Chains A and B, each alone.
Chain A
Amino acid sequence: MVPGLQSLALPAIDCEFFQPSAYLKIDKKGKVTIYVGKQESGQGVDTALPMIVAEELEIDFKDVHTEIAPYGTLKEGEHDTGGSQSVMTMYTQLRNAGAIAKSMLITAAANVWKINASSCAADNGEVVNTNSNKRIKYGALVCQAALLPIPKEVTLKNPKDFKLIGKSTSRSNLNELLTGKTKYGIDIKVEGMVYAVAERCPVLDGVLVSVDDTAAKKVPGVIKVVSYKGTGAPMHVRAGVAVIATNIWSAMKAKKMLNITWDEGKKNKETTESLFKTFEERSRLKPQLEVFKKGDATKFSAKNEISASYSEPFLAHATMEPVNFIASVKGDSCELWGGLQLPDWAVNTVSKECGFKKENIKVNLALMGGAFGRRLHFEFAIEAVRIAQQTDKPVKLIWERTDDIRFQPYRPATYHVLKAGIDDNNNLAAWQHHVLGTPVAYMTDGPGAKDAAEMDGADAGFCYDVPNINTGYTGVDFNINRGWLRSVDICVNSFPVESFIDEVALKLKKDPLQFRLSMLENKPDFKTGDAPGAAIQSPARVAGVLKLAAEKIGWTEKRKPNHFIGLATHSFIFAKSYAAHAIEIELLGPKKFRITRVVAAIDCGLVINPDGMLNQMEGGFAFALTQTLKGEITVSDSRVVEDGFFSYELLRYDEMPPIEIYMVENKEEPGGVGEVGLPTVAPALCNALAAAGYRPRSLPIRKEGFTWV
């Protein structure tokens, strides 16, 4: 660097910053801010996405400052966060954003030096004159760059030149996270803010008859008690009575003193027991919807037939940060603060339900202390606005933990009937899978919704090469709200599919690994539909992760006495990722076990931040182990029975086995990693238990009498 070069070389143009797109800004002092368009809830998009920009921009990641992209600065739909789609869908766009900025900075420097841009290169936050080796910092070029036209086409780096992508990188806000400085939605304070908690109708779609708030109003700090109406689809806000107070503690105390009478409606006697009875009865009939058919498994005349049924319960998201939201209403406009995975849908719905023009709704997105799909739903935002409409101050609504567990949009309960037809050569020739569930779509779109089938992994994407396949779905209505939970129906369907494949292998006295591979290896990739965007399914990659997991756990090696291994594999089809688990248990007594080894194998194409991927696989395992062992929401009189962490138990430190993660390395486009680590955990563990002599067919396995240490 030549001393004084910047002031000598640059004409006197002034500006504050250079912002060629919504994704990044460089100010005069050289501070680089990268805006994260996807909502962070622990999945690491606040690091992986900026890494992609920084790679092309040629800037040291430690010099990058990251911020949430303010709502409205991106195209409609682009703030949406879910389905492990963030890296996949943003990869090329963010590379372009970095490359465009870099190209403009290079042009600006070339103009300063009066040389050709091809004689300039970007390196570590500076443009280098490759003839003279002179350098100018990005910050000194921003005012020149800001005047340039944005190039329509730029050259992206050759991936073999990547310096940052593919290197484990610490979270961009790690220091704030570890010093308590991070502000989640629940930590936000707005000038003049008051606090609220609410009591909700215990039965969905019930209405308020009367409330006696005499005692509640006497609690010091209480400002007022207000009621609000519920809504139907899509969010099913429950009718509620809210206590508004100067502080949350007063509101919580006063809530306990409310004396409320509800009209619960007619659907107030449902139970999970009766739901599973309905499933069982209905499963004897043909599926309501035929979802996928190849050949005809129903007409196949099998030498013998194997069948089994499986069931899975309702589940709650139970994010560590209890649901909360802030709303402020002034005249015909409102301002919102909080975490939302689908902010556009939230704004549209708040507009409709609460009577604000869309352009009069301002949204301030916040960091989430876990989401797992919980904040794809936003009934809490509608509640907060309805409460705020009844006071002149901004209101922070907090759901107590009991509210969180009792009033969720729950992961649907399902029942699965599977049938396998075996041909004369002892091969699997026919496969039938009837899924019975309580679909999310009945909640978001209304009962009888046409696209209700929750069959990912059991539809056209079923990856085993079986000549005759019939899979179908039957939706059953049930009076609690449902929603999308991490790994959604791929996880739900992997448990029965991968358990039943294992059952068939054992019945046929075939090695479960070789049996699977015989129906996966050497099978060509296929498209799952005719639509242009239909997913590509790769049986070879499903086999690849399975083989890796089996090899690493020593599938063919001699095992210690009372040790058993279970395998499971899958394609997380809509996120272009594949994973398998191999789990070893030691049987300690009848139905009593210890997990001795967990091996996970993942193929997610190019990995942006390997450490982020590992964290997702480790955490995904813990999340899935919770639901394999003990996660269950039960319903009695149309009310959820569980009301907190003592009754809805989550995995704890002392229950976490060590986990090893291996990666299939390839040059495929990046896939998603947030959900791929879950679906094969339950079937791998259950297949290990089956190898030990006990086949679990319903989750959580605690219900079937299993215990673990």
Chain B
Amino acid sequence: MPNFTLNINNKDYSVEAESDMPLLWVLRDILDLTGTKYGCGVASCGACTVIMDGNAVFSCQRPVGACVNKKIITIEGLSEDGNHPVQKAWQKARVPQCGYCQPGQMMRAAAMLGKNKKPTDETISSEMSNHLCRCGTYHRIKEAIHIAIEEINK
């Protein structure tokens, strides 16, 4: 089986996997980084979102073979102890219900704010509409994103 070196959360990991295995399953089942969630496998829900070279990507759509020489950040590496402005904002707005989709939602928001500290409501809306939350926490996600924007522009 082929071997790949992946840079995840600023650490190099050596993994053995079929080259077409999506990054999602490498993270979850081989590296036990289960904060990244399986939701649909077909880029329709956003639960598996990670940050790759600064962009939010669906890890279910990235074969591991296409992930070498990339800088990958997962929810486990978003901050040292949950203090990324997005996580703090999510905490303040008490966003989660079941919480299953929230790592993906936060990774999307963090990537968006990493590129643009003052996104317009249209940008926020089009970015966050890549994600589903069946508990319906959209109202609070919106609130949290605005809290995070305020924080990073202080």
Contacts from A to B (Cβ < 8 Å) = 41-44, 168, 170-171, 174-175, 177-184, 186-187, 189, 195, 220-221, 247-250, 252-253, 318-322, 368-372, 398, 400-401, 611, 615-616, 618-623, 626, 644-646, 650-654, 656, 658-659
Contacts and interface: CB of A to CB of B under 8 A. Distances in A.
Nearest to A677: B136
A6 B64 CA distance: 58
A370 B39 CA distance: 12
A170 B34 CA distance: 23
A249 B134 CA distance: 25
Contacts of B28: 187
B129 A644 contact: no
Interface stretch (B51-59, B111-119, B139-147): B139-147
B139 A659 contact: yes
Interface string B40-57: 111011010000000000
Contacts of B102: 177-178
B38 A398 contact: yes
B45 to A, nearest CB: 6
A183 B76 CA distance: 13
A401 B87 contact: no
Interface of B: 1, 17-18, 20-22, 25, 28-30, 32-42, 44-45, 47, 74-76, 78-79, 81-82, 87, 90-91, 94, 96-103, 106, 125-126, 128-129, 131-142
Contact of A320 (B91, B98, B125, B128): B98
Contact of A247 (B25, B34, B90): B25
A357 B82 CA distance: 45
B91 to A, nearest CB: 6
A187 B32 CA distance: 8
Contacts of B126: 654
B44 A180 contact: no
25 contacts: A41-B98, A44-B97, A174-B91, A179-B75, A179-B81, A180-B35, A180-B103, A181-B76, A220-B18, A221-B18, A247-B25, A249-B22, A320-B39, A370-B134, A371-B98, A618-B137, A618-B140, A619-B97, A622-B133, A623-B136, A626-B136, A645-B40, A645-B44, A646-B44, A654-B125
B136 A653 contact: no
Contacts of B42: 401, 644, 646
Given A221-B18, A249-B18, A619 B94 contact: no
Given A247-B29, A644-B42, A645-B40, A179 B134 contact: no
Given A249-B22, A619-B135, A622-B139, 8 more contacts: A44-B97, A179-B76, A180-B35, A320-B47, A321-B39, A401-B45, A615-B137, A654-B126
Nearest to B133: A320
Contacts of A183: 34
A174 B38 CA distance: 20
A651 B126 CA distance: 14
Given A181-B35, A186-B38, A318-B134, A658 B101 contact: no
B37 A171 contact: no
A187 B34 contact: yes
A97 to B, nearest CB: 26
A319 B39 CA distance: 9
A644 B40 contact: yes
B129 to A, nearest CB: 5
Contacts of B41: 252, 400-401
Contacts of B138: 622, 651-653, 656
Main secondary structure of the interface of A (DSSP, over half): loop
Contact of B136 (A174, A186, A247, A622): A622
Give the top 3 A-B pairs by smallest Cβ distance, nearest first: A180-B35, A622-B136, A42-B98
B45 A320 contact: yes
A359 to B, nearest CB: 32
B98 A170 contact: no
Contacts of B82: 175, 178-179
Given A320-B132, A619-B137, A370 B44 contact: no
Contacts of B47: 320
A42 B32 contact: no
A184 B90 contact: no
A685 B129 CA distance: 23
Contact of A653 (B44, B90, B129): B129
B140 A615 contact: yes
A21 to B, nearest CB: 28
Q: Which of the listed residues A250, A253, A619 has the most CB atoms from chain B within 10 Å of its own CB? A: A619
B131 A370 contact: no
Contacts of A401: 39-42, 44-45
Nearest to A174: B91
A434 B25 CA distance: 50
Contact of B98 (A168, A221, A370): A370
B106 A618 contact: no
Nearest to B99: A177
A318 B99 CA distance: 15
A592 to B, nearest CB: 19
A178 B90 contact: yes
Nearest to A220: B18
A322 B28 CA distance: 15
Nearest to B96: A177
Nearest to B1: A220
A643 to B, nearest CB: 10
B106 A178 contact: yes
Contacts of A645: 40, 44-45, 132
A189 B32 CA distance: 9
Nearest to B22: A249
Contacts of A42: 96-100, 135
A400 B22 CA distance: 15
Contacts of B35: 179-181
A319 B97 CA distance: 12
A178 B87 contact: yes
Q: Which of the listed residues B37, B100, B132 has the most CB atoms from chain A within 10 Å of its own CB? A: B100
A476 to B, nearest CB: 29
Contacts of A611: 94
Contacts of A321: 37, 39, 98, 100
Given A178-B82, A611-B94, A654 B129 contact: yes
Contacts of B91: 170, 174-175, 178
Contacts of B98: 41-42, 319-321, 368-371
Contacts of A646: 42, 44
Nearest to A253: B20
Given A180-B74, A247-B25, A619-B135, A320 B94 contact: no
